[in-house]
Amino acid sequence: MKFLIAPDAFKGTLTSKQASEAIAKGIHTVFSDAELLIYPLADGGEGSASVLATILGDDQFLIESATLIGLHLPNMIATPVEDRGSAAIGDAIGDAIIQAVEDGERNFIIALGGSATNDAGMGMLMGLGMDACDGDGNPVKPTLAGLLELDRIDISKLDRRLSECRFTILSDVGSPLCGKSGATATYGPQKGIQLSEVDHVDTAVSNFSNLCSEQFGFNPSKHDGSGAAGGLGYALLLLGGEAVSGAAYIMEATGFRQQLTGADWVVTGEGCSDLQTLNGKLPVVVADEAIKAGIPIALLSGAIEAKARETLLERFDIAISATPDGLSHDEVKHQAAALLSDAAAIFAERVKRGD
């Protein structure tokens, strides 16, 4: 038997490599002589940099949003959502541009998943030179609070070297910027935006996009991925970036399809699988490739939302949650690798029985 083990990171708990190894350990307890191919992946969120690091060209520069403004970071957790912003991404791009342009490197890969911000990328653009003011002409902060006070912008001071750079935007979601399926309505509450404030924030995001439309001459707010990372995808599209599926990009770049040859099962997973998994998250992209190749596909995740299980089983042959009922978050985090190994052993037993 050959098992291709290709999970995403289990956010804040296990890297994709650690998750792969835990799954392999569990399968090995049942199939001691099986061929276990460990193949850690990512979808533009946490862990993308480590997966792509060994295959980047000399002319490419990778920025992972999760490492700078990730929702799992202690400094972000401790900061109210209105005081968070994407300026760190702008600073990182600006610092990289100096070397990149001088050395002839103009290709930037920006992984967007896992961000803690909802400022529509205003902070990033301010970090790259854009002026943003309130109704009295005072500069606003490069945060969500600043976005809520925003009255006008001026892009005349944006770093001119941006026009010489190419941005590939790795997104793990296909949401537009605004509206009922947009960044704020879909992901804002996860980041700390109160449900009662969602419409107010969405209106501010829409106002920002209108101001940008006047200055940039176009408005990509409805493009797939513009709502990624609290609208950071939108700001990168304004800079001429190309939004692509992070999972598909990384799988293509790492040669995932070639690894399917001879596999009897493909195993994938993530920290929590729910209905949003079907919106471009790594496990479902892996499942689509396995299905095309005629190979059974298993989903082993930290948790599987009950109301999503039936829908997920339309894409996966087996779906198993690694978290037993009754365990606290701290207990799960402490035992994550062991729990995932146990779930993998249960999966392997089902395969052995032919269930």
pLDDT tens readout for residues 236-273: 999 999 999 999 999 999 999 999 999 999 999 999 99
Q: In this structure, what is the dihedral angle of CA atoms 287, 112, 235, 82, given to the nearest 10 degrees?
A: 120
Domains in the chain: ranges and CATH: 2-41+255-353 (3.40.50.10350), 48-246 (3.90.1510.10)
Is 131 within 8 Å of 187 (Cβ atoms)? Answer: no
pLDDT for 73 equals: 92
Distance of CA 288 to the CA centre of its chain: 18
The residue behind tokens 């399926």 is 181
Its pTM surpasses 0.85: yes
Q: Cβ neighbours of residue 219 under 8 Å, at least 6 residues apart?
A: 209, 210, 212, 213
pLDDT for 100 equals: 64
Q: Cβ neighbours of residue 167 under 8 Å, at least 6 residues apart?
A: 108, 109, 110, 236, 239, 240, 241, 242
* CB neighbourhood size of 126 (10 A): 25
Is 195 within 8 Å of 252 (Cβ atoms)? Answer: no
d(Cα 269, Cα 284) in Å, to the nearest integer? 9
pLDDT for 222 equals: 95
Low-confidence ranges of the chain (pLDDT < 50): none
pLDDT for 42 equals: 93
d(Cα 267, Cα 256) in Å, to the nearest integer? 13
SS3 at position 331: helix
d(Cα 93, Cα 62) in Å, to the nearest integer? 9
pLDDT for 187 equals: 92
pLDDT for 174 equals: 81
